A and B are shown apart, each in its own frame.
Chain A
């Protein structure tokens, strides 16, 4: 999040021309969430510049781009996490299933129940594993009794591939798990609320390669039920897990398209330079 605020622009791409028009098809047939002319400001600084993009139902879309390109900021618009930052201001429309998320009639609390989030650093609550998962269902009243709650916890942990590892120690603190397990616990915690969309902000950047592989495997598993938006710095990860890829540069959405297209035949010069590692 912070690296979005800090303006890191290596000299060699400051001069490059960023187009006003996005290359590629921003619209999809069955959109879950749509962003129309979204701009985000931190104080006076423009972080996201007039982005229009659809997120399709049950697809995994990866946001890539150099640090400070606005990808995390846009991600945090989808569940209005930027509301917690005083100086942050958003323009344009974001809809979920046709409802404007910034509409005063839409409650931010229920929006976040529909659009879950997994953060860069694993952040389990300092509670037991069980309580970590049960937290969301409890505050939203998803379980009628403790039996149902137990079921939700078990199902969520199973869905996150963590059940077999933790089923005998549900009463131990979530912080006692390894980093990779903690991150999968956070994913299970998000899943437990029954969201339609899961936002992932560089979910593997604090994990070792083996834990990363497990989380990626989990993402491929989750795509069957959920729409997933993932911000990543790893090109390989975007290529491995996503259906579509969006490339951001200096707050603008430069190019979007099918992941194999983007990685094999990037249309825009900037995209090509970035994915081939010429800068970033």
Chain B
């Protein structure tokens, strides 16, 4: 609450300082007696930005930080059984207090909860006041400082440039920190999983039966839960391999056609049409695979006398391959187009035919980009869930036969985590372990592909 309502005043202060700075610059400009280092508006930007940006950062920091402070101050209200309790007990106690703070009341609460809640509300009021005065004060002081700093020789333009640089760095680091955050959150849950299930059982296990977990805990017998990841990874690689076998030749050849053979007019029609494939929701591909392709594959198999499971890896892989064609074709088309015309001229000038020029000159030069496109398509295939859930089944068979029903890592994660889950059971936590291995595998894949590209690339600049 305090965060949002304070942004507007800070922006107004910033605008005022911008006006002051620019006005100062314009006056000097008009007087013409001294030469200004920068244009008047840069002095405005400088004063305005110095007045706003640090104050805004302070505001975000304080608003996020005060809860942590209150949480530790809350301890004095907890009765001894809560203080001695484990993580769950404390979390419940904290939730009770927060419900009261937010005005949600379930029956009669213990007196310490009431006391803690009213104290929290009191702290919140003080904190809001402190945050408001500190940030606005910071803004005003920083603004005055910046305004007094400016002089005809002051390099406002360079200063603004520096602020822009830092803003850009901040934006790009958000992406990096998010990735790190995702990896860490998956990692911590996985570590909890590996405390329950030995890591070697998970990585080298060939049986995947987490559904017996509940029965096992209840002691009712009936089966043992096993957490071997190999069947799912085998399924993932099987389906991805089928998909890549479909997508790479079709995608690459259509890219070559588009870039080298098609007339401009054909290209302007065909390329967007191909890209439409990428826009089809995966759930639509899913029922296309389950209702059209899988029965078709089965009946073709039957007519050849081959037994095909009604939910086969082949059907899911074929449809997934169609889905990722545009990733291969569109990006490859772009990189093939980026190969300089002079290289084609050189090849034609030596008497190459079109396909010789493409195979021996254009494609080798475009190779790094094409490999990048394929990697992107592979990671898309590995991460794809919906088609597999709908068309390949959920049976965790360790099989490399594309005619069998298999399952993949992602579709198992979905099965495990959909619905209400208790986060103390090995079954739920196994999803995070699967996700961790998936992340590691895709990273490794990217790394090796980059090494291959580095070794075989033909650099044309």
A178: min CB distance to chain B, Å? 15
CB-based contact A175/B459 at 8 Å:
yes
B349 CB-CB contact with A under 8 Å: yes
B350 CB-CB contact with A under 8 Å: yes
B356 CB-CB contact with A under 8 Å: yes
Hey, which chain A residues are within 8 Å of B263, CB to CB?
86
B137 CB-CB contact with A under 8 Å: no
Select which of A86, A126, A190, A193 is within 8 A of B364 by beta carbon.
A126
Hey, which chain A residues are within 8 Å of B350, CB to CB?
112-113, 116, 135-136, 139, 189-190, 193
Cβ proximity bits A93-136 to B, threshold 8 Å, 1 near / 0 not: 00000000000000001111100110101011111000000011
CB-based contact A173/B346 at 8 Å:
no
B216 CB-CB contact with A under 8 Å: no
Hey, which chain B residues are within 8 Å of A113, CB to CB?
350-351
Hey, which chain B residues are within 8 Å of A193, CB to CB?
350-351
CB-based contact A81/B364 at 8 Å:
no
A25: min CB distance to chain B, Å? 30
Cβ proximity bits B334-349 to A, threshold 8 Å, 1 near / 0 not: 0000001011111111
Chain A residue at minimal CB-CB distance from B344: A84
CB-based contact A112/B348 at 8 Å:
yes
- A112-B350, A190-B350 are contacts. A173–B342 as well, Cβ < 8 Å? no
A185-244 CB contacts (< 8 Å) to partner B: 186, 189-190, 193
Chain B residue at minimal CB-CB distance from A138: B360
Number of A-B contacts (CB under 8 A): 72
Hey, which chain A residues are within 8 Å of B449, CB to CB?
none
A39 CB-CB contact with B under 8 Å: no
Residue with the greatest number of chain A CB neighbours at <10 A, chosen from B340, B349, B361, B365: B349
A127: min CB distance to chain B, Å? 6
Please report the C-alpha to C-alpha distance between residue A117 and residue B340 in the assembled complex, in whole angstroms.
Answer: 17
CB-based contact B460/A116 at 8 Å:
no
B66-94 CB contacts (< 8 Å) to partner A: none
A230-279 CB contacts (< 8 Å) to partner B: none
A172: min CB distance to chain B, Å? 12
Please report the C-alpha to C-alpha distance between residue A150 and residue B206 in the assembled complex, in whole angstroms.
Answer: 55
CB-based contact A139/B351 at 8 Å:
yes
CB-based contact B360/A119 at 8 Å:
no
B178 CB-CB contact with A under 8 Å: no
B275 CB-CB contact with A under 8 Å: no
CB-based contact B459/A173 at 8 Å:
yes
- A126-B364, A173-B459 are contacts. A79–B349 as well, Cβ < 8 Å? yes
Query: 25 A-B contacts, Cβ less than 8 Å apart?
Result: A81-B348, A81-B349, A84-B344, A109-B351, A109-B353, A112-B350, A119-B342, A123-B342, A125-B346, A125-B347, A125-B361, A125-B458, A127-B458, A136-B350, A139-B350, A139-B351, A139-B356, A139-B360, A140-B351, A173-B458, A175-B460, A186-B346, A189-B350, A190-B349, A190-B350
A111-B351, A136-B351 given. 16 additional CB < 8 A pairs? A79-B349, A81-B348, A86-B263, A109-B351, A110-B351, A112-B349, A112-B350, A117-B349, A123-B342, A123-B343, A123-B346, A125-B347, A126-B460, A139-B351, A175-B461, A193-B350
Closest 4 CB pairs of A and B: A126-B458, A112-B351, A117-B349, A123-B342
